[in-house]
């Protein structure tokens, strides 16, 4: 198996926590790994949120045994559970499992470049408060439904109405911040990096990306279809 040598035990623990959260929502979750040199990107899609989650990790050295690409870079879709099981936090290593047939989302990723910062994103505490308010409203509306109206279609309708609302003066839907919160991305900046921005909103073509020190959430902007995607 291909060996990944993570920069330190903290990187290994953070990657393990991300994978565990994905598996919490989908026990059969797959992740797409892309690595080059000492940088590793892990893409996942938690169900229901309709977003892509991206967790990056630093490697101590370039991984061993590239997987069939002429430039030796890593690009493979694997089981999130198997990858999680292979992580040795004390040794800061992981083994890349056997490739799996990727789900449809794994073939269409946000563009690698062309990102520019967008204005209008509220502060971290405000975004977290908006997510908490949306969760409370969703639960309240569900609780008020009479049994005969508590259908999947009605639950989906309520969810779409609440989670598609924009955050502040942006096009970013609340569901993107909800996904970030659920995956542990909406945390204060690490003490070791006090100047690191807590949140940033970026755009590239049809995509928006909520970037935090702990990971990113990417989502297509409403009405722009599948424009400006990277099929790899």
Predicted structure pTM score: 0.87
- pLDDT tens-digit readout, 191-219: 655 556 789 999 999 999 999 999 999 99
- Assign 196 to helix, strand or coil: coil
* Four-point Cα dihedral 78, 81, 82, 85, nearest 10: 140
* Architecture in CATH of 2-109: Roll (3.10)
- pLDDT tens-digit readout, 32-60: 999 988 999 999 999 888 899 999 999 99
Each domain of the chain, given as residue ranges in start order, spans 2-109, 116-201
Q: How confident is the model at residue 226 (pLDDT cuts 50, 70, 90)?
A: very low
pLDDT at 66 over 90: no
Return the structure tokens found at 101: 């047939």
So what's the pLDDT on residue 78? 96
């Amino acid at each position: 198996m291909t060996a990944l040598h993570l920069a330190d035990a903290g990187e290994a623990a953070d990657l393990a926590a991300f994978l565990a959260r994905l598996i919490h929502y989908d026990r059969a979750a797959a992740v797409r790994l892309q690595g080059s040199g000492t940088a590793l990107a892990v893409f996942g899609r938690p169900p229901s949120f309709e977003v892509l989650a991206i967790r990056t990790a630093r490697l101590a050295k370039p991984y061993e045994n590239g997987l069939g690409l002429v430039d030796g870079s890593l690009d493979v879709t694997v089981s999130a559970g198997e990858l999680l099981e292979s992580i040795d936090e004390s040794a800061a290593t992981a083994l890349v499992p056997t490739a799996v047939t990727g789900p449809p989302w794994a073939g269409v990723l946000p563009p690698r470049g062309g990102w520019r910062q967008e204005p209008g994103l509220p502060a971290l505490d405000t975004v977290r408060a908006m997510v908490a308010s949306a969760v409370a409203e969703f639960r309240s509306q569900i609780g008020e439904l009479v049994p005969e109206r508590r259908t999947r279609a009605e639950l989906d309708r309520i969810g779409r109405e609440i989670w598609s609302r924009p955050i502040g003066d942006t096009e970013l839907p609340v569901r993107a911040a909800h996904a970030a919160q659920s995956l542990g991305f909406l945390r204060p900046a690490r003490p070791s990096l006090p100047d690191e921005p807590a949140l940033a909103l970026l755009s590239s073509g049809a995509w928006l990306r909520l970037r935090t020190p702990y990971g990113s959430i990417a989502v297509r902007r409403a009405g722009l279809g599948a424009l400006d995607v990277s099929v790899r």
